[in-house]
Amino acid sequence: MFGDGLARGADIESLWRRDQGTRCEAKSCQTGEISTEEAAVQSCSSRDAGMQTEQSEETIQYLDLQQEALVDYTGLLSFLQGVEEVVIKELNKNWRSHAFDGFEVNWIDQNETVSCLHSLSYPEAQDQKLQVTSISWNATGSVVACSYGRLDDGDWSTEKSYVCTWNLDRRGLNPKRPDLVVDVPSSVMCLAFHPSQPSLIVGGLYSGEILIWDTSRVEDPLIGRTGMTDDTHTDPVYQVDWLQDSKHSHHFQILSVSTDGKILVWQTEKDGQLMLAEGFALVAQQIPWSMKLKKHARGESAVGVTALSFSHFDPSVFIIGVEGGYSLKCSTAVENTAVPRTGSSVPLKAPAQFAFTPHGGPVYSVSCSPFHRNLFLSGSTDGHVHLHSMLQAQPLISLQLSKKYLFSVRWSPVRPLVFAAATGEGEVHLFDFGKSSQKPAVSIKQASADTEVYCIEFNIKHTQLLAAGDASGMLKIWQLSSDFIQEGPREMNHLEQLADEVPD
């Protein structure tokens, strides 16, 4: 029915497109002819103007800012009289308030960073394997001195040693070239700057002799010595210090401590010779029986004194540490004569008055608190620091800060709750009782673990500085953060509470 088919296509032309092409017109719309014109503007004349300080009288009068303002004094008086009672009442209330007791404004940001400011050394001393045995700051706080010697096993008596000084304020400080080097024929065990004369240093030797140097005399600084006499110590001198003369306040004597059991006071003669003025002897017979020394230690055997610290509140009271591990409270005002010593030019007194519970090893450092008359620290080779009250035999706190020795402890001169300790593991611990009574606030790595730190000293003038010397012959100056030099609120109250504690 259906089939495929092909039909032819048909083309149909578009009439619309054809017609549009033939009728195409261009049209537009315009509202009217627009006329245009170009124009430019130029000022006809110009004038420069300026002002200077010397103005005309007319201008000054116009700009006068000093004219007296109109004040309603009657109204101001009436207002002040009206609020006077209320203001006085509030001021009295604030004055009686205890809301801000102990609060202290601190404008310095607190931080716990401790950085090494200088690493000082004397290469010639290090080549001889000498160690930094003692440190001291001078009266201005700008010069630090250290002694080189030996504190370990060896023939100390024949060792050549040195005393070196560096001025930290001097430009171009050379850390390996001291400003002054003094050669000493025997090992220097300790030294101390004069408290008011910045150039004087006293030192104690392994030989038992005491020497005085004047660092302002570069060519020949030695100005005084004890010499080897019957009064001279027969054992190494472990500590020297300057002692104010009780008869002449502007004069200073020299105090020396030795393991021969003697504590001697020297005065300087015009020829530079040091003469014995007073002396004390610590022998087993004079030590209080509360120490319970072994029987073989009794009798007239000397008890080696290794450390001493004077009270900051009573110049006649001092604490000593001895080789037997004890700390003793002593007094310069005693009258009891010690067992007679042959050859001494002055009678020696027995200073010991009270004994404290001992350490497990020799006490090499003691430090009386600058802030409390009864508190002191002791450090021993047993690795412990004891916080003691002079009124109790038992320590208030016992802290093990080292598995090896503790060679030096020093109370901070500006923070009542802070002290530093030097250890046999090459560290310096900064302890803050305000933060913890059990662990250091900061532990500074001074040297390698097998290098002992023998001595530390705070700078009393520049309180952010702490010096530490070690067995490698290196003297480092540490810069403490504000956290260790700014006293906190109620810090003295906390110290009083520590002093009043009763040990278990």
Q: Can you spell out the DSSP letters for 181-250?
A: EEEESS-EEEEEE-SS-TTEEEEEETTS-EEEEETT-SS--EEEE--SSTTS-SS-EEEEEEEE-SS-TT
What is the rounded CA–CA span in Å between residue 356 and residue 418? 22
- Res 383: pLDDT: 93
CATH architecture of residue range(s) 115-500: 7 Propeller (2.130)
What is the spatial distance between Cα 278 and Cα 346, in angstroms, rounded to a whole number?
7
pLDDT band at 393 (very low <50, low <70, confident <90, very high): very high
- pLDDT tens by residue, 11-23: 666 554 555 544 4
From the centroid of its chain, how far is CA 493? 22
Alpha-carbon radius of gyration of the chain: 42
pLDDT at 374: 96
Share of the chain above pLDDT 90, in %: 58
Assess contact for 357 and 395: CB atoms under 8 A. Answer: yes
Decide which of 134 and 58 is more confident.
Answer: 134
Q: How distant is the alpha carbon of residue 74 from its chain centre?
A: 60
Q: What is the tens place of the pLDDT at every residue in 47-75?
A: 666 666 555 555 445 445 455 567 888 88
Band of the pLDDT at 102, cuts 50, 70, 90?
low
pLDDT band at 159 (very low <50, low <70, confident <90, very high): low
Of 130-144, 196-210, 268-282, 375-389, minimum mean pLDDT range: 268-282
Least confident window among 85-94, 295-304, 390-399, 450-459: 295-304
Between 492 and 44, residue with greater pLDDT:
492
Is the pLDDT assigned to residue 109 strictly greater than 70? no
In the chain, where the domains are located: 115-500
pLDDT for res 227: 84
pLDDT tops 50 at residue 213? yes
Q: Is the dihedral of CA 350, 356, 360, 365 positive or negative?
A: negative
pLDDT higher than threshold 70 for residue 273: yes
CA distances from 116 to 120, 175, 444, 445, 478 (A): 11, 13, 9, 10, 5
Report residue 136's pLDDT band, with 50, 70 and 90 as the boundaries.
Answer: very high
Q: Is the pLDDT of residue 389 over 90?
A: yes
User: What is the separation of C-alpha 255 from the centre of its chain, rounded to a whole number of angstroms?
Assistant: 25
Segment 409-425 shows an average pLDDT of: 95
Neighbours of 373 (CB within 10 A): 15
DSSP letter for 13, please: -
Query: 185: which 2 tokens?
Result: 């024929």
Average pLDDT value for residue range 223-252:
87
Model confidence over 300-340: pLDDT tens digits? 567 899 999 999 999 999 999 999 899 999 999 988 887 65
Stated length of the chain: 504
Match 């006071």 to its residue by tokens: 265
- Whether 341 shows a pLDDT value over 70: the answer reads no
**414 token code pair:** 């500006």
Does 279 have pLDDT greater than 80? Answer: yes
Stated pTM of the model? 0.75
Pairing of strands 262-268, 252-258: antiparallel
